[in-house]
């Protein structure tokens, strides 16, 4: 086998890329307007997670993969026309010492 020239990807990285490609393929089945919205949202979500999540936090990454697969299955449904995203930020709590 000849080397591909790029870095070898871990199994988890391959799963993430596969999920991303799956979303883009599913978006192609929607209307042009919905497709653009879906592609934009998916791209932003994957980039945000790539920046914010520690690459060694395997439990959280696996959780996001499971959640993403469920969302992808929903998106593949002919009844579904788009996706939505909710960003939740928790307030910082101050720890006071007694």
- Indicate whether 56 belongs to any domain: yes
Q: Is residue 68 part of a domain?
A: yes
3 part of a folded domain: no
Residue 90 lies in a domain: no
Quote the pLDDT of residue 32.
93
1, pLDDT greater than 50: no
Q: How confident is the model at residue 82 (pLDDT cuts 50, 70, 90)?
A: low
Residue with the bigger pLDDT between 94 and 58: it is 58
At residue 75, the pLDDT reads 92
Q: Is residue 81 situated within a structural domain?
A: no
57 within domain boundaries: yes
Q: What is the Cα–Cα distance from 86 to 16, expressed in whole angstroms?
A: 20
Going by C-beta distance under 8 Å and a sequence separation of 6 or more, which residues neighbour residue 84? 41
| Spatial CA neighbour of 84 closest among 49, 20, 37 | 37
**pLDDT per position as a tens digit, 12-61:** 999 999 999 999 999 999 999 999 999 999 999 999 999 999 999 999 99
Q: Which residues form the domain of 43?
A: 11-75
Asked if residue 26 lies in contact with residue 76, where contact means CB atoms within 8 angstroms, the answer is: yes
Q: Tell whether 97 is covered by a domain.
A: no
Distance between CA 51 and CA 31 in Å, rounded? 30
Q: Structurally, how many domains does the chain consist of?
A: 1
DSSP state for residue 87 in the 8-state scheme = -
**What is each CA distance from 19 to 23, 40, 94, in whole angstroms?**
6, 15, 38
Considering the entire predicted model, what is its pTM?
0.76
């Amino acid at each position: 086998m000849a080397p591909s020239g790029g870095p070898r990807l871990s199994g988890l990285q391959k799963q993430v890329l596969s999920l991303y490609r799956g979303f883009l393929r599913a978006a192609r089945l929607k209307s042009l307007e919905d497709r653009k919205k879906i592609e934009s949202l998916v791209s932003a979500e994957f980039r945000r997670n790539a920046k914010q999540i520690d690459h060694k936090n395997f439990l959280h990454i696996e959780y996001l993969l499971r959640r993403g697969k469920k969302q992808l299955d929903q998106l593949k449904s002919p009844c579904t026309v788009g996706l939505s995203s909710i960003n939740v930020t928790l307030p910082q709590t101050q720890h006071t010492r007694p």
